[in-house]
């Protein structure tokens, strides 16, 4: 009798802690397909649904109109590899060990929602950029953590069993640089309608550079639209949860690789028929660590306790306890290998509706990389090379309406505070403003508490060298570039073989 009771008890434990194996051909699922569409370097608010008057994003706008669009979505880190690791592992970058850096190694010891869905019977796969750049095999993965590679969505579907649900990751390389000069203006985009962010000089060539960025945003949107069209064609749309977003901000100075809004605030639309109300505008804050629990809850699978995020599905129901969505925490460690000694530029931040508070742990280091080329990219190598970057570098020591050079490349104080209602581009540091002293004390405390709660090494060892010493997987060796020559080359590219008026780079 005692043995019988023990066996029953053990069976109950196993049923709670281990997912039941599902045989989809025998028992068709009620759980959704999952389609994850992710751009590479696309910032909020560059979509029609957000009011941008130039860039044309009908796919994103359709998802927003028929699902939900988020006003306050934030990547965990403004850098490809750590951002994508946080998406897949549901944990903040500093919790993911080596995967907290760019060009890193991602360890397979942490639960991965794509792998968990595959184990539960989902057909899984990806096309193009998954977790990258870095070495996933060194971390113990047989194939990319985002799924086995397929040439396209149609091929992926052909390999799916009847009635088997799927999880598919489409990772575009758009709008990552390098851009084809004039690709934007050639499509008929109007240079005069571009809203130049306040941290960039309003010069014709900068506007042209932004149009080339928009061209690639539009290409990403079209490719996502083609995938959704195939869902409709195969009568799969109604039972597919779709998320369309980006991994980090636009590849311009003071955007990508920074914790300012244009580096971390992301476009995000979600669609799931009959589960997400069409046309819903979500103002709640979310961090990319929330994706992993969202997908597992949608699939009715147990959510690992080591996940740091909360399912976004709670936003679309009136039942149950709600997470605190009044703020997000942001971070970065080493982006490119651009400082002598392979040093990181460590930052932590808290973003609320009113404020952005930033803690720079190594203010004596150059935030955008050393002024001279070190290993990767060139001078100030945490900023992608572009005509916008080169023109700002030429402004060093010159008078302008704003000190664009200092904003992009100058050293920063140990603390920064931005009042967002009157400073949407995060230009005026209010850390010394006595009117905000109480706010700074409160934000500083919240950030420290979060760091301690999430076992951030910098909470106990602020000047740790852990992320400085991790393997940087590629081999680069760049030299300093001649700015005058770079600008001249761009000017020639504008004029060569097109019918457009000459666009001067400098005024």
pLDDT digits (tens, 9 = 90+) for 119-162: 999 999 999 999 999 999 999 999 999 999 999 999 999 999 99
How many whole angstroms separate alpha carbon 145 and alpha carbon 68?
A: 27
Residue 88 reports pLDDT greater than 80: yes
Q: Examine residue 214 and say whether the peptide bond preceding it is cis (omega within 30 degrees of 0).
A: no
Residue 494 binned pLDDT confidence (cut-offs 50, 70, 90): confident
Give me the sign of the Cα torsion angle 47, 41, 155, 85.
Answer: negative
DSSP letter assigned to residue 478: -
Q: Indicate the pLDDT class of residue 477, thresholds 50, 70 and 90.
A: confident
Q: C-alpha distances in angstroms, 64 versus 43, 71, 232, 271, 281? A: 16, 11, 17, 8, 8
> Does residue 229 contact residue 363 with C-beta atoms inside 8 Å?
no
Task: For residues 296 and 171, give the distance between their C-alpha atoms in angstroms, rounded to a whole number.
Answer: 20
pLDDT band at 170 (very low <50, low <70, confident <90, very high): very high
State mean pLDDT over 71-80.
98
Mention every residue, 6+ apart, whose C-beta is less than 8 A from residue 502: 494, 495
418 secondary structure, DSSP code: E
Q: Which residue has the higher pLDDT, 15 or 498?
A: 498
Q: What is residue 11's predicted lDDT score, i.e. its pLDDT?
A: 39
3-state DSSP of 273-318? CCCCCCCEEEEEEEEHHHHHHHHHHHCCCCCCCCCCCCCHHHHHCC
Give 171's strand partners. Answer: 38, 128
Q: What is the distance between the alpha carbons of residues 375 and 219, in angstroms, rounded to a whole number?
A: 32
Q: How many CA atoms lie within 13 A of 334 on its CB side?
A: 28
Q: What is the pLDDT of residues 49-64, one digit of tens each?
A: 999 999 999 999 999 9
Give the confidence band of 499 by pLDDT, cuts at 50, 70, 90: low
What would the pLDDT profile of 357-412 be if each residue is shown by its tens digit? 999 999 999 999 999 988 778 899 999 999 999 999 999 998 888 999 999 999 99
State which fold the 28-325 domain adopts. Answer: Alkaline Phosphatase, subunit A (3.40.720)
Residue 4 has pLDDT above 50, yes or no: no
* pLDDT, average across residues 87-109: 98
d(CA 243, CA 36): 5
Categorize the per-residue pLDDT at 15 as very low, low, confident or very high, splitting at 50, 70 and 90. very low
What tokens does 59 get? 């796919």
Across the chain, what does the average pLDDT equal? 92
pLDDT tens figures, 334-358: 999 999 999 999 999 999 999 999 9
Average pLDDT of the residues in 87-93: 98
| Element containing residue 458 per DSSP (H, E) | helix 457-460
What is the percent of the chain where pLDDT is above 70?
93
| Percent of the chain residues past pLDDT 90, beyond the cut | 85
Residue with tokens 């953590």: 145
In terms of Cα–Cα distance, which of 170, 208, 162, 152 is closest to 59? 170
Q: Is the pLDDT of residue 27 over 70?
A: no
In the predicted structure, residue 2 carries a pLDDT above the cut 80: no
Question: How confident is the model at residue 14, as a pLDDT?
Answer: 33
CB atoms within 10 A of CB 484: 10
Please compute the mean of the pLDDT values over residues 167-182 and round it to a whole number.
97
Q: How confident is the model at residue 23 (pLDDT cuts 50, 70, 90)?
A: very low
Residue 13 has a pLDDT of 31
Task: Flag whether pLDDT at 305 surpasses 60.
Answer: yes
Which pLDDT value is given to residue 374? 83
Q: How far is 166 from 68, CA to CA, in rounded Å?
A: 22
Of 373 and 239, the structure prediction assigns the larger pLDDT to 239
Q: What does the pLDDT read at residue 373?
A: 84
Taking residues 309-317, report their average pLDDT: 95
**Beta carbons within 10 angstroms of residue 419's beta carbon:** 16
Least reliable range by pLDDT among 22-26, 177-181, 496-500: 22-26
- The yes-or-no verdict on residue 3 having pLDDT over 60 is no
pLDDT of 279 above 70:
yes
Token duo for residue 397: 């020591």
The domain segmentation of the chain, as residue ranges, is 28-325, 330-469
pLDDT at 201 over 60: yes
Three-state SS letters, 92-158: CHHHCHHHHCCCEECCCCCCCHHHHHHHCCCEEEEEECCCCCEECHHHCCCCCCCCCECCCHHHHHH
CA atoms within 13 A on the CB side of 284: 17
Taking only the tens place, the pLDDT of each residue in 420-443 is 999 999 999 999 999 999 999 999
pLDDT value of position 6 = 34
Band of pLDDT at residue 266, cut at 50, 70 and 90: very high
Token couple for 353: 């509706």
Radius of gyration (C-alpha) of the chain in whole angstroms: 23
């Amino acid at each position: 009798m005692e043995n019988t009771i023990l066996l029953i008890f053990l069976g109950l434990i196993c049923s709670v802690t281990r997912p039941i194996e599902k045989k989809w051909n025998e028992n068709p699922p009620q759980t959704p397909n999952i389609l994850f569409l992710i751009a590479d370097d696309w910032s909020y608010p560059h979509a029609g649904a957000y009011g941008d008057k130039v860039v044309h994003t009908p796919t994103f706008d359709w998802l927003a109109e028929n699902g939900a669009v988020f006003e306050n979505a934030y990547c965990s880190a403004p850098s490809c590899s750590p951002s994508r690791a946080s998406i897949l592992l549901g944990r903040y970058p500093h919790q993911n060990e080596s995967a907290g850096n760019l060009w890193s190694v991602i360890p397979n010891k942490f639960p991965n929602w794509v792998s968990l869905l595959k184990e539960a019977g989902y057909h899984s796969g990806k096309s193009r950029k998954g977790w990258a750049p870095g070495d996933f095999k060194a971390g113990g993965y047989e194939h990319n953590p985002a799924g086995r590679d397929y040439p396209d969505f149609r091929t992926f579907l052909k390999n799916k069993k009847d009635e088997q649900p799927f999880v598919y990751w489409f990772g575009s390389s758009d709008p990552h640089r390098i851009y084809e000069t004039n690709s934007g203006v050639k499509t008929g985009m109007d240079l005069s309608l571009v809203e130049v962010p306040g941290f960039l000089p309003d010069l014709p060539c900068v506007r042209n550079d932004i149009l080339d960025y928009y061209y690639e945003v539009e290409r990403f949107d079209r490719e996502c639209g083609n995938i959704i069209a195939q869902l409709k064609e195969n009568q799969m749309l109604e039972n597919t949860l779709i998320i369309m977003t980006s991994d980090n901000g636009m590849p311009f100075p003071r955007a990508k690789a920074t914790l300012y809004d244009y580096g971390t605030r992301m476009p995000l639309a979600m669609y799931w028929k009959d589960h997400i109300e069409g046309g819903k505008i979500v103002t709640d804050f979310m961090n990319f660590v929330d994706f992993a629990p969202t997908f597992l809850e949608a699939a009715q699978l147990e959510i690992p306790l080591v996940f740091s995020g909360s399912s976004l599905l709670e936003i679309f129901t009136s039942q149950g306890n709600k997470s605190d969505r009044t703020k997000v925490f942001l971070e970065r460690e080493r982006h490119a290998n651009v400082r002598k000694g392979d040093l990181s530029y460590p930052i932590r931040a808290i973003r609320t509706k009113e404020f952005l508070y930033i803690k720079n742990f190594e203010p004596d280091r150059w935030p955008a990389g050393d002024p001279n080329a070190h290993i990767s990219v060139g001078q100030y190598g945490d900023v992608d090379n572009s005509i916008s970057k080169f023109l700002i570098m030429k402004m060093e020591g010159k008078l302008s309406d704003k000190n664009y050079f200092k904003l992009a490349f100058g050293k920063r104080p140990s603390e920064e505070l931005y009042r967002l209602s009157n400073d949407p581009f995060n230009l005026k540091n209010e850390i010394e403003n006595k009117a905000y002293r109480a706010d700074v004390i409160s934000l500083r405390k919240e950030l420290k508490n979060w760091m301690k709660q999430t076992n951030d090494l910098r909470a106990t060892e602020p000047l740790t060298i852990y992320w400085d010493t991790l393997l940087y997987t590629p081999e680069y060796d760049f030299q300093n570039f001649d700015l005058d020559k770079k600008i001249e080359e761009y000017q020639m590219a504008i004029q060569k073989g097109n019918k457009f008026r000459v666009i001067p780079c400098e005024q």
